[in-house]
Structure 1
Amino acid sequence: MFGRLRSLMTTVLTPVARWLLRLGVTPDAVTVAGAIAVTALALTLLPLGHLLLGGLLIGFFALLDSLDGVLARLSGHTSRWGAFLDSTLDRVSDGAVFAGITLYFVLHPDVPHATWGAVAALACLALGGIVPYARARAEAVGATAKNGIAERTDRLVIGLAPVAFTDIGLPMVAATTALTVLAVASAVTVGQRVTTVHRQLAKVPQ
């Protein structure tokens, strides 16, 4: 859904990456710094109820997510280690975002639909980890499972934006509904990937 935005951000971030390269900043440093920033923001601002500020700051760092990749390509230091680190820390950041949303509902039981929101956010947290795990396990057994309707950027935008906008008047029911839809979409994506891998492996002699 947001593939074009990623391409645009790569173009925008290229001058920034060149500047960081001249300063001696490594792609791994950018990856780690981004993960720490998102995790810290998600686990402090969101549970405390600073939803709009937290959403905007997390969104800013999410837009910078491809900066480490651009920096790696410009420096000629792309590596399997860098890809592993980036993917692993993405899981940490994503988990922190939905953990922060879950904690918000738990710590603010007076918010409309708080129980519904907490359950939906927790489901997003769990299923958001299974979606990339299914892809990784597929590749480990010689299959491919990149399909699905709930990719990483989609999950972050659909899950976080409505929650953040409740600070400026969006009804909480809209946020909890979005989280529910996201949880269902993530479950469907897991099912799609399981089905895809089963179909691929069924054609391979055991």
Structure 2
Amino acid sequence: MLSRTGRPLAKTIFGPIAHACVKLGISANTITVVGTFLTVITSLYFFPTNQLLLGFVIVSILVIFDNLDGQVARLTNSSSTWGAFLDSTMDRFADAAIFASFVAWGYTSASEPTRIWVMTGALAALVFGSVVPYARARAEGVGLTASVGIAERADRLVFAGICVLLVGFGLSHWFMAIGMWILAILSFITVIQRMHTVFQQCKAGESEGE
């Protein structure tokens, strides 16, 4: 949901930065790869070492800047199938690193009663969250659409960020534990929604072919 409604705002905020990148000769693919590398390194360092607030700030900035590559590609008329594939693949690396870092935080820093719940919840959120984009990609691969659901990438990252922020400000670690499980459930529901959407399209197609 947020990935669709936030695009006009992102274009307004980062438009000048995108123009600056074009003037400096920085390509969209370079921004994609460098941004992903920094996100992975930052996540896997700051969160497991319990530097939640600093990690939240830096990772949030990097994730927000993730839309720059698309803007630069449009400004330079360099949008391509390779660029879209690269961007989607790099997003999977970044998401996996972020949620893996939450698993690591649970192991290194979560309080004893919450540790197992944080770790398993973050792992479940990682697994189900990775299936969400796969379901859409697989649907598009067979000529259908599945861009629906209550927990798309932006929604999942914002929700996870709120959990990190709450714990970083000293609230109970249960906020992270429960939050990760809620996120896992929302991701699972999104997968079901996409599967249902594809099923309905397949069913409609079969009816038309009769």
Moved more, 5-14 or 97-106: 5-14
Cα deviation for residue 171 of structure 1 reads 1.8
Contact 1:98–1:124 (8 Å) recurs in 2? yes
Q: CA separation in 1, counterparts of 2:111 and 2:150?
A: 33
Indicate whether 1:59 and 2:45 are aligned. Answer: no
2:7 aligned partner: 6
Distance in 1 (alpha carbons) for counterparts of 2:196 and 2:119:
29
2:43 partner amino acid = A
CA contact (8 A) 1:52 1:167 kept: yes
Cα distance between partner residues in 2 of 1:112 and 1:15: 47
Tell me, in whole angstroms, the C-alpha distance in 2 between the residues paired with 1:109 and 1:163: 12
Match of 1:26 in 2: 27
Q: Aligned partners of 2:58, 2:7: CA distance in 1, in Å?
A: 18
Please tell me whether the aligned partners of residues 27 and 68 of structure 1 are also in contact (alpha carbons under 8 angstroms): yes
Q: CA deviation at 1:188?
A: 0.4
AA at the equivalent of 1:154: D
Letter in 1 for 2:104: L
TM score, norm. by length of structure 1 = 0.95
Aligned residues: 206
TM-score by length of 2: 0.93
Unaligned runs of 5+ in 2: none
Name segments (4+ residues, structure 1) moved above 4 Å. none
Q: Which amino acid aligns with 1:50?
A: Q
8 Å contact 1:112–1:172 — kept in the other structure? no
Q: How far apart are 1:109 and its partner, in Å?
A: 5.3
Q: CA deviation at 1:111?
A: 4.8
Amino acid across the alignment from 2:116: T
Alignment of 1:115-134 (within 5 A): 115-134=116-135
Pair 1:101 & 2:86 matched: no
| Deviation of 1:200 (Å) | 0.8
Distance in structure 2 (CA, Å) of the matches to 1:126 and 1:115: 16
**Match of 1:41?**
42
Q: Secondary structure at the match of 1:21?
A: helix
Gaps of 5+ in 1: none
The structure-2 alpha-carbon separation of the partners of 1:62 and 1:87, relative to structure 1 and needing over 3 Å to count, comes to: same
Q: Residue 49 of structure 1: CA displacement?
A: 0.9
CA separation in 1, counterparts of 2:40 and 2:182?
24
Q: Deviations over 1:89-148 (max 9, x none)?
A: 001101100000011112235454111011100000001110000001111112111110
User: Does the 8 Å contact 2:166/2:175 carry over to 1?
Assistant: no
- 1:139–1:145 CA contact under 8 A, matched in 2: yes
Equivalent residue of 1:76, what SS? Answer: coil
Residue aligning to 1:70? 71
Name the aligned partner's letter for residue 47 of structure 1. Answer: P
Verify the 8 A CA contact 1:47 1:107 in the aligned structure 2. Answer: yes
Question: 2: CA distance between counterparts of 1:159 and 1:35?
Answer: 18
Distance 1:102 1:8 in 2: 32
Q: Indicate yes or no: 2:80 matched with 1:86.
A: no
Q: CA deviation at 1:160?
A: 2.7
SS of the equivalent of 1:147 reads coil
Amino acid at match of 1:118: M
> Which SS does the other structure have where 1:11 is aligned?
helix
CA distance in 2: counterparts of 1:137 and 1:192, whole angstroms = 14
Q: Percent identity?
A: 39
